[in-house]
Amino acid sequence: MLEARGLGCARGGRALFENLSFAVKAGQLWLVRGANGSGKTSLLRILAGLLPAEEGELVWSGEREPPLWVGHRVAVSADLTARENLEFMAALEGDDAGAAAAALEAIGLGGFSETRAGRLSEGQVRRIALARLAFSARRLWLLDEPLTSLDETSTRWFEAQLLRQIERGGAVVMATHRELSDSLQGWTLRLGA
């Protein structure tokens, strides 16, 4: 689906990683691991097209498709309700409002759909952003520390979404410090080693 050839990235005059090559294929889960500041976020941003690759290149097999990106900043507006936020994200992907409402219900935010995101907890805000996973048809998911401040129930829901994405032939590249359940077998990319 996506192949990285000799990727390199330097931030603030310091080389984070060099000559990094890997190929993400359909049905694969890639876990990017490494210490804080080892370049996990930069790597994901390069894959998402937010940062240009200073060295090396990204080769897409077939047409370049937009990935689903959930970054450290989750694109949830504090002044909009949970439902309005998710409906906007759905609209950008061409999905209708019904998908958004069902996804909120599934991630356990049904009772908060009319609450402004600014009044929700950090974990709940992250759940709004992750609810996109329930309806997104994007084949490549790029997730930067998606498990931050998630409770156990939501983590299990999230893992179920990952499994569904992989089983239907999508791919996931995610940076995380946490261990996933044993049912999820992934390839590990260790940065800064």
Partner 1 sequence: MMGRIFAAVFRREVRLAWRRRGQLLQPLMFYALVMLLFPLGAGADLTLLGQAAPSLLWVAALLAVLLAQGPLFSADLEEGGIELWVTSGVSLSWLALAKLIAHAMIVSLPLILISPILAGWLGVSGEALGVLVISMALGMPVLCWVGALGAALTLGLPRGGILLALIVLPLYIPVLMFGAGAVHAAMEGRPAGGALVLLAGLLCLGASLAPLATAAALRISQE
- Of 40 and 180, the one with the shorter C-beta distance to partner 1 is 40
Tell me how far apart the alpha carbons of residues 101 and 82 are, in angstroms, rounded to a whole number.
9
Q: Measuring CA to CA, which residue among 115, 114, 160, 96 is closest to residue 134?
A: 160
Q: In the complex, what is the shortest distance from the CB of residue 152 to partner 1, in angstroms, rounded to a whole number?
A: 25
Complex with partner 1: residue 51 or 160, whichever CB lies closer: 51
75 lies in the binding site for partner 1 (CB under 8 A): yes
Based on the shown chain and the rule CB under 8 A, indicate whether residue 143 belongs to the binding site for partner 1: no
Could you give the CA distance from residue 169 to residue 32 in angstroms, rounded to a whole number? Answer: 20
Of the pair 33, 116, the CB lying nearest partner 1 is at 116
Establish if 151 lies at the interface with partner 1 (CB under 8 A): no
Q: Which is nearer to partner 1, 139 or 166 (CB)?
A: 139
Instruction: Give the residue ranges of DSSP H helices in the chain.
Output: 40-48, 82-92, 97-106, 122-130, 152-167
Contact 74, 128 (CB under 8 A): yes
Q: Report how far residue 82's alpha carbon sits from residue 114's, in angstroms, rounded to the nearest whole number.
A: 6
What's the min distance (Å) between Cβ of 158 and partner 1?
Answer: 18
178 contributes a contact to partner 1 by CB under 8 A: no
50 binds partner 1 (CB under 8 A): yes
Q: Which residues contact 114 (CB under 8 A, 6 or more apart)?
A: 81, 82, 83
Which residues of the shown chain bind partner 1 in the complex (CB under 8 A)?
A: 45, 48-52, 65-69, 71-80, 84, 87-89, 91-94, 116, 142
